[in-house]
Amino acid sequence: MTYLDHAATTPMLPEARDALVAALGEHGNPSSLHASGRRARRAVEESRERIAAAIGCRPSEVIFTSGGTESDNLAVKGIFWSRRDADPARTRVLTSAIEHHAILDTVEWLTEHERAAGEFLPVDAYGRLTVDTLQGALAERADRVAVISVQWANNEVGTVQPIPELAELAHQHGIPFHTDAVQAVAQVAVDPTLVDALTLTGHKLGGPVGVGALVLGRQVAATPVQHGGGQERDVRSGTLDTAGIVSFSVAVDAAVRSQPERTARVRALRDDLIARVRDLVPDAILNGDPTDRLPGNAHFSFPGCEGDALLMLLDAAGVECSTGSACSAGVAEPSHVLVAMGADPARARSSLRFSLGHTSVPADVDALVKALPGAVERSRRATGG
């Protein structure tokens, strides 16, 4: 099989896999006081320091979680509750209309159950939230905003957001700014000191599934989402996955250190893929920012096709990728990202995401361009497109 779905999850790096296997041979709860517990605690704290050194934050700001979804929930809910409790007028939660559902659904839940005023800000045709748009949202009642959350880079179309400028604008109004950077860390330069809270996760950068972190500034108050033993600054209780954390830290360190070289190699493959797809399917539409996008992302709409059908045809031909549409209760829905960017439902349902990563090679692109024309033709015949 040819794997072109690294944005969903990327294979573990060999060094992260070796670290996981070795750590699984140890035992001990890092909250225990005996020798085995102290050994586990030392492994956790060394991992915390390794991650902090790799991404450029303080070790005390790294809060371990089960992954991106938990980190997003903890950041948005925790900061909202803390700010609203301090000032009941602070009920506004601002985010973009193209966020991952870990953010969108969290904001919707706060709106329905916690009297939040969730606002989903529009993006431009490239999927970019502009500074002017955020400025407009803050022009009135900025003092009622509890938190702003904007992803560093979009998980579907790959557009990189102007996070430094957006965060600076938020800070001018004294508003905490969170970013979901699970797609960005290890692909583009990410500086956690620019924001108040940042989400990252292991399986997007060569680590294991089920472990991630929220980088939470020491000055940022966040009400816990779950309660228990008071681990992780009393913000995220729960017994820590020592082996997963060790492997995660090794993956973060290796991925960030190799980012410049890997980015150049993957971008060249991605550009070749885009050029060859356009040559084979001239009416294919490249979605997202044509230049300021994740190096491994190529997201296309194929007019006259159904994305789900096209995905299965490619899968049958040995090429694994991802559709841009989400499936809810068995009913295919147009991609909310493309709809927010101005695409009509037909275009939104005809999209596929090809994402490359550290194991990608030129033969992967060759396999796609070999299988794609036949799959597009069959899909169009089936739909009458």
Query: How do residues 50-68 score in pLDDT, each as one tens digit?
Result: 999 999 999 999 999 999 9
Residue 219: CB atoms within 10 Å: 8
Q: Provide, rounded to the nearest whole percent, the portion of the chain with pLDDT above 90.
A: 96
Considering the entire predicted model, what is its pTM?
A: 0.96
- pLDDT digits over 16-42, tens only? 999 999 999 999 999 999 999 999 999
113 within 8 A of 105, measured Cβ to Cβ: no
Quick one: pLDDT at residue 309?
A: 94
**Fold classification of 259-383 (topology level):** Aspartate Aminotransferase, domain 1 (3.90.1150)
Predicted pLDDT of residue 382? 87
pLDDT above 90 for 327: no
The whole-number average pLDDT for the span 253-257 is 97
Span 14-257: which CATH code? 3.40.640.10
CA atoms of 293 and 383, how far apart (whole Å): 31
User: Would you state the pLDDT for residue 326?
Assistant: 46
Q: What is the pLDDT of residue 22?
A: 98
Active site residue 57: no
Taking only the tens place, the pLDDT of each residue in 201-213 is 999 999 999 999 9
**Do 14-257 and 259-383 agree at the fold level?**
no
pLDDT of 325 over the 70 cut? no
Largest CA-CA distance found in the chain, in angstroms, rounded:
69
Q: What is the mean pLDDT of residues 363-378?
A: 98
pLDDT at 329: 36
Mean pLDDT of the chain: 96
Cα atoms found within 13 Å of the Cα of residue 103, Cβ hemisphere only: 27
In the prediction, which pLDDT does 332 show? 66
- Given a cut of 80, whether residue 385 has pLDDT beyond it is no
> What are the domain boundaries of the chain?
14-257, 259-383
- Average the pLDDT over 208-234 and give the result: 96
Average pLDDT, integer, range 156-180: 98
| 369: amino acid identity, one letter | V
- Give the pLDDT confidence score for residue 324 in this predicted structure: 61
Which of the following is catalytic: 57, 305, 321, 327?
327
Cβ-count burial 140-167 (b if 16+ within 10 Å, e if not): eebebbbbbbbbbbbbbbbbbbbbeebb
State pLDDT tens for residues 119-160. Answer: 999 999 999 999 999 999 999 999 999 999 999 999 999 999
Mean per-residue pLDDT, 323-349? 79
